[in-house]
Amino acid sequence: MGNQVWRRLLDNHDQLAKQIVDKHRGNLIKTTGDGILATFDGPGRAVRCALTFAGAAKQIGLSLRLGLHTGEIEVRGGDIGGIAVHAAARVMAKCGAEEVMVSRVVTDLVAGAGLKFDERGVHELKGLPGRWGLFAERIGASFS
């Protein structure tokens, strides 16, 4: 697609990410080229943001994979780190195209919030102990 078109697409991605994360009262920590890292004050808001972002990105020709986990993070200047961040990245790595995948912890915390997930089985996540139950929602419904 060429560098200029790719750059414009990434700029649109980043602008869209900022707008949607802000709208869902999240904190956009950083963009990562063709991805983002954000925090939220609750997992339900994070899931709704992910679904909205993926739907909006699809409108500009991008197919996203989004992985979410909740847990303790380490604040490192303007960045974050820790096992929870690593776990979210590993959850995302298990996603299919146009899918929001979450850890069991997220589904437990959003019970009763009207979010519906399909089981995706139990997986080993590289660098993390144990086996992790993963759940996904196909992108389609948009939450405002």
CA distance 117 to 50: 13
Residue 138 in this model has a pLDDT that exceeds 80: no
Residues 16, 37: contact at Cβ < 8 Å?
A: no
The percent of residues in the chain predicted with pLDDT above 90, rounded, is 76
71 Cβ partners below 8 Å, 6+ apart? 82, 83, 84, 87, 105
Residue 3 in this model has a pLDDT that exceeds 90: no
* Averaged pLDDT for residues 116-141: 90
Tokens of 51: 């679904």
Mean pLDDT for the chain overall = 91
Write down the pLDDT at residue 24. 98
CA distance 40 to 34: 20
Residues 63, 103: contact at Cβ < 8 Å?
A: no
From the list 124, 119, 105, 121, the residue with the least C-alpha distance to 44 is 105
